[in-house]
A = this chain, B = another copy of it.
Amino acid sequence: MDTSGQAERSETFSWTDPKVGLKYLPTMSGLDFLSGMRDGSIPRPPMASLMNLRLLAVENGRVEFECRPGEAHYNPLGVVHGGLACTLLDTVVGCAAHSTLAAGFGYTSIDLSVSYLRPITLQHAVLRAEGTVVKSGSRVIFAEGRVLAPDGGLLATATSSLLVFAAAAPTQATPKA
């Protein structure tokens, strides 16, 4: 019996060319861009597909995502890899910051400081993650994020600082996706 064969797994992840969503970026406020992503009119990025992330809600300075971890996200120690919590936290603090920006402004993460409170396993069928702006600013935004278990228990937290900058003038004023 070929047990090694039985142990092989594969999963196919699909996404839309990120250039499609990117065309909307220069002319939309962060809140409008993220609202479009929540509603499906702007495609979610590839990494969101790989990590099973979905944007549930966005308002000025606050976002909420859900994430469905799978075996694909496991580390060698038999639990979900810390990188999933990091990706989720990097996402929510970034989107929370983005939601405060007018069209023509961009942002980039300066740093992310993650606390791993409890291990994440497949028993956590659906994670919820929130990102909140702690202090907005014209040069630096401070944000925090947290990942919650289905029962509301705190699994991981993060703080982040993000740099704000005037984005390059759009080469194409009216995106035609």
Contacts and interface: CB of A to CB of B under 8 A. Distances in A.
B13 A72 contact: yes
A116 B111 contact: yes
Interface residues of A, number: 73
Interface of A: 4, 6-22, 25, 33, 37, 43-47, 49-51, 71-78, 81-84, 86-88, 90-91, 94, 106, 108-119, 134-135, 139-140, 142, 144, 154, 157, 159, 161, 163, 165, 177
A135 B163 contact: no
B9 A83 contact: no
Main secondary structure of the interface of A (DSSP, over half): mixed
B14 A140 contact: no
